[in-house]
Amino acid sequence: MAYITTNDSIQLHYTRKGSGTKTLVLVHGWQVSSAVWNLVADELSRKYQLIIVDLRGAGASNAAPGPYTVEQHSEDLFNLVQSLELKNFVLVGHSMGGAIAQRFAADHCELLVGLIVIASVPASGLELPADFQAFFRSAAGNRSQTEALWKVFIANPLAAETFTMLLDSSMTVKPEACLESFDSWRQLNFADEVKRIMTPTLVIAPEADNPMTPDFLREKIVALIPNSRLRVIEKTSHYAQLEQPQELGKLITHFVDELCSL
């Protein structure tokens, strides 16, 4: 297992997979680990080098203490790319990982050639009713509640082994990481800063996601980032990388290959 040491001396786990002249750094979302990328990584690693991180408090980085905020995760990501001497890479983030990717791009766009966010939390955060907040919080360290939550967000039934993998990855997340990061991404407030992201950006919206609908992402992300475009994956909900990994892989590959031709 591979780790880097961050500036505050925690061990951050990452996986390197595949090879190629272009590098993609994949950032997972809330209440999961890097395992959620497994299916699409199998597709992408045939053509690109992938760096897949476990955020602090999750997966093989779950021994790490907090803080577990979007800002800290972005700083950890910067430590990772510095340690691995990465530059001119494509940053890919899903859900909360999309918010982390936007925070990183706003601060370090000189390191990127492309940015991809999938079903992303916007830089303005996400308002949720009190009862829904309680539902999210109930997932902390609780497998049955997490299962109930994921069933709300997944429109197409997953293969049994894939859904078990998703739940297993959720159970690697420290309860305190689950709760603190939830409050962090829910209350984000850096929308004005993403307007300075000049990196070519692909915003991927699963058609059946809620509340991150295509119209919501168009208003909250695409309208703010100057060089961005929206693509919709039909008949897919929040976990596009599990529901339609091949279709998601095609969208990512097309965008990255287009960058290479510029």
Residue 20's pLDDT band (boundaries 50, 70, 90)?
confident
Average pLDDT in the 193-213 region?
Answer: 95
Q: Which amino acid is at 65?
A: P
Which of 142, 126, 133 lies closest to 219 in space, CA to CA?
A: 126
Q: Count other C-beta atoms under 10 Å from residue 238's C-beta.
A: 23
Q: Count other C-beta atoms under 10 Å from residue 110's C-beta.
A: 10
Which of 90, 115, 86, 66 lies closest to 4 in space, CA to CA?
A: 86
**pLDDT score, position 211:** 87
Tokens 């599990």 label which residue? Answer: 242
DSSP, residue by residue, 120-155: PPPTT-----HHHHHHHHTTTT-HHHHHHHHHHH-S
**pLDDT score, position 262:** 59
Q: Look at residue 223 and give its three-state secondary structure.
A: coil
Tell me which H or E stretch contains 10.
none
pLDDT digits (tens, 9 = 90+) for 86-110: 999 999 999 999 999 999 999 999 9
Tokens 């530059």 label which residue? Answer: 87
d(CA 20, CA 23): 7
pLDDT digits (tens, 9 = 90+) for 105-149: 999 999 999 999 999 999 999 999 999 999 999 999 999 999 999
Q: Is the pLDDT of residue 260 over 80?
A: no
- Report pTM: 0.97
Q: Are strands 112-118 and 49-53 parallel, antiparallel or unpaired?
A: unpaired
Q: How many CA atoms lie within 13 A of 174 on its CB side?
A: 18
**pLDDT score, position 73:** 98
d(CA 68, CA 100): 11
Q: Which amino acid is at 221?
A: I
Q: Is the pLDDT of residue 34 over 70?
A: yes
Q: Which has more pLDDT, 247 or 260?
A: 247
User: In this structure, what are the phi and psi dihedrals at residue 73, rounded to the nearest 5 degrees?
Assistant: -60, -40
Residue 255's pLDDT band (boundaries 50, 70, 90)?
very high
Q: Give me the torsion for CA of 164, 165, 168, 173, rounded to 10°.
A: -140
